[in-house]
Structure 1
């Protein structure tokens, strides 16, 4: 295995990453807060999902979508480092590895998502915003980096026989979401204390 990747995977065990944040609030459709706690305390090994077709597609598409973003928005200076880990200066256990970051007078996070819409309910979550689990991920990235904004680039597949692609860009300004960030920080501090002290949290079920 790539040495840098191995080091990165080991470092991920030392705190809470952006992809962990929604599970802490019981808002990750694929993982409960209990499952996350078991992974962070070492009770279970995280499932390796890298070979799942949807995950592999997203990983393979990421670099291409990042290059498209650079072409479409030449006013932004985009940087990328596969293993660079940003940590919150006050709470260093809160970290994020980014799909890219935007340098300038105002610093920003670039987040890239690929998804396939299977039913109208899923589309409604992208129509006027982004799904809750991705919103929480973006909040965590703002917390970890201290940056000013997030741009989420989403490539959305919809349809079955005649597959269509819709590309959308969503901007989240830090100043508009400070209250939500404070709430998330409080929940992450509590969760990490439970990890360190091996205190099993109560199960939080996602809303139906």
Structure 2
């Protein structure tokens, strides 16, 4: 089989290359290495299937335009990423306790032997077992656990298939700690057809990176943040798109969709108020297919800044705070 055929099938006769040792590599240097290719945790975003990150945001990171993008602080103990890193050794230990399979660290960024842009970090290597070779450790809190209701989320499956493609291995186990108290273990077998498609889509994304061409925005919050960071200021100029049929069609569709949303929101408000009126002072109402609650929240307290500044107007000069402006998208017809 030729190299080209092996690449299409996601297989190689050679093992993964150890691109960089991570044993003494700090986080900043590790992030720099990751910009040189698509890592396994990038796979879902690279093909447009990561619910947390868009292709556009990932492209900005890979092309060095991420200076103004929100960053994850690895020391912020209020983030899922912090607990994911903190609990990774525990999850690996629980996996061994549950299955009896021994694991060890790989301490390296791995690279596909035939496709340089395909990189992978493996949480643990499973040793002494014939039917599975890779362990991926995950944690999910109350919100994140919703994505695991029907099994392994799609973007996590793609992450693991990417790892199997880079390493040439045949199977991986995912061990996920749910809400700090439930361990779930899933087996992901190598799917060569899926890997071939994944590699094709990743190559398309990497072409965006190599040609410095931004991929299309996908309507996600991530893409919105990326666009605002990519184009933070307006020039004051007017772009004439009256003869651009594609963009004019997009504008017409936007206006139509907004009108439809407004009409549906009005219907929603009417139905909601109809139920509220029927409930009167009841806290809950049950129906054939579900239930609603209508209860008073706890009283809160806040600072009346307007009144404070009326009484002490010098405070504004003594403690000024400038909030940077942002671009607003307004539609006129």
- TM-score by shorter chain over 0.5: yes
| Post-superposition offset of 1:40 | 0.4
More relative contact order, 1 or 2 (CA 8 Å, 6+ apart): 1
TM-score by length of 1: 0.83
Match of 2:186 in 1: 170
Task: Supply the distance in 2 between the matched residues of 1:3 and 1:118 (Cα, whole angstroms).
Answer: 34
Where structure 2 has 5 or more consecutive residues not aligned to the other structure, the ranges are: 1-22, 221-333
Specify which of 209, 215, 222 is matched with residue 201 of structure 1: 215
Asked if the contact 1:101/1:107 (under 8 Å) is kept, the reply is: no
Distance 1:35 1:178 in 2: 28
Judging by fraction of residues, say which structure has more strand: 1
8 Å contact kept, 1:26–1:205: no
The count of residues paired between Structure 1 and Structure 2 equals: 192
Q: How far off is 1:205 after superposition?
A: 4.7
Alignment CA distance shift 1:165-1:17 (3 Å):
same
Q: Classify 1:205/1:151 alpha carbon distance in 2 versus 1 (closer, same or farther; 3 Å).
A: farther
Within 5 A, what are the aligned runs for 1:32-181?
A: 32-45=54-67, 47-52=71-76, 53=78, 54-74=80-100, 76-81=101-106, 83-104=107-128, 105-106=130-131, 108-118=133-143, 123=146, 125-157=147-179, 165-174=181-190, 177-181=191-195
- In angstroms, what is the RMSD of aligned CA positions? 2.2
Query: TM-score by structure 2 length?
Result: 0.53
Q: Which residue pairs with 1:184 in the alignment? A: 198
Cα separation, partners in 2 of 1:20 and 1:50, compared to 1, 3 Å: same
Rounded to whole Å, the distance in 2 between the matches of 1:7 and 1:57 is 21
Greater Rg, structure 1 or structure 2?
Answer: 2
Note the alpha carbon deviations across 1:120-146, whole angstroms, 9 max, x for none: xx54x4244211121111111111211
Moved beyond 4 Å, runs of 4+: none
